[in-house]
Amino acid sequence: MDSDERLMQRVASGDLPAFRLLMERWEAAAKRYAYRVFGDYQSAEDAAQETFVRLYRAAGRYQPTAKFSTYFYTVLGNLCRDRLRATRRRTARGEVTEDAFVIDELVAGPEARRPDRRAEAAEDRALVRRVVAELPEKLMRAVSLREFEGLAYQEIADVMDANLGEVKTWIHRGRKKLAHRLRAVMAEEERT
């Protein structure tokens, strides 16, 4: 079976079946990652789509010395970061009124046979989503790449163009912040 790196080399020479195979392998990962950033299925789908387009167009510049996963998450991460910043800028200018992370209605649906339980589950998810979204970007990226994508610290360092010490710190601080925020938010929820 061809490695991802070999497939990328074939993509560089215009090999579409190789590109398709690469998409089959990485499509779900791209969408999951983007969803964590945007909290919105449609935005995640769009970002994943644009990532593969960029990968195809930049395949000629891909150096097989780098792991494909590193390259992939770098392209995807940069794209998500740019889009997120653009969204925040538009929000700040008043062009976007929705919070990019408020997607309960998409996740949960409007009607509930068991409103109490459904609302509870949706609230829990929304709460975690909110807390994750509140993390500083670097911490969020580092924690996501570790917790959800299972990347090694060195791979995360490569993706984020950082050194191992920074990655170690970001992941630890990210987890701690999440723990404290989750605890605080939950306590607040209980009080209200």
Partner 1 sequence: MRDACRSIELDLSAWMDGELSVARAETVRSHVEACRACSAEQQMLAGVGSTLRRWDAAETRYLATNAFRSRVLEQIGAPASAAGSSAAGAPDRRGRLVLVRAAAAAVVVVATGAAVAMALPRGIGDDAERIARLEAQLQELTGRAETGPDGAVAVPSTSTPIDVARLEDWQPVVTPAEDTAALGGDTAPAEGVERALPEAWEEHEDRWIVGDSFPALDEFRRRERDLRFRADVRRRLAAGANVSPERPTTDRPAGGPLASYLGGLRVSEGTFAPYAQVQVWPIESDAPEGVVDAPLTASEALREKSLEVTESARGGAVLVENSDRRGRAVMLLAGDVLHGGRRDRVVAEDVILAAGQRRQVRSVATGDARRSRRRYSRSDGMAPVGVRALLAAGAGEAAIDGVVEAALPWLGAAGGNGLDAVYGNDELLRRADSYVSRFTSRLDRPRVVGFAVAAGGDLLGVEVFGDHDTFDALSRRALRSYVLEALARPRLEGSTPGREVVTAALTASHRATRDDQTAFVDTAANLRGYGLLESGHVHHAIVFTDRSVAPGAASAAAARGAAGALPTAPGTVVDDEPGTENGPGRGDESGGTGLSSGSER
DSSP state of 13: T
Establish if 60 lies at the interface with partner 1 (CB under 8 A).
no
56 contacts partner 1 (rule: CB under 8 A): yes
What HEC string does 141-190 produce? HHHHHHHCCCCCHHHHHHHHCCCHHHHHHHHHHHHHHHHHHHHHHHHHHH
The CA distances from residue 19 to 4, 14, 72, 81, 186, in Å, are 10, 8, 13, 24, 45
**94-133 residues near partner 1, rule: CB under 8 A:** 107-109, 111-114, 117-118, 120-121, 124-125, 128-129, 132
Choose between 87 and 171: whose C-beta lies nearer to partner 1.
171
Footprint of partner 1 on this chain (CB under 8 A)? 1-2, 14-17, 19-21, 23-24, 27-28, 31-32, 35-36, 45, 48-49, 52-53, 56-57, 107-109, 111-114, 117-118, 120-121, 124-125, 128-129, 132, 143, 146-148, 152-153, 168-169, 171-172, 175-176, 178-179, 182
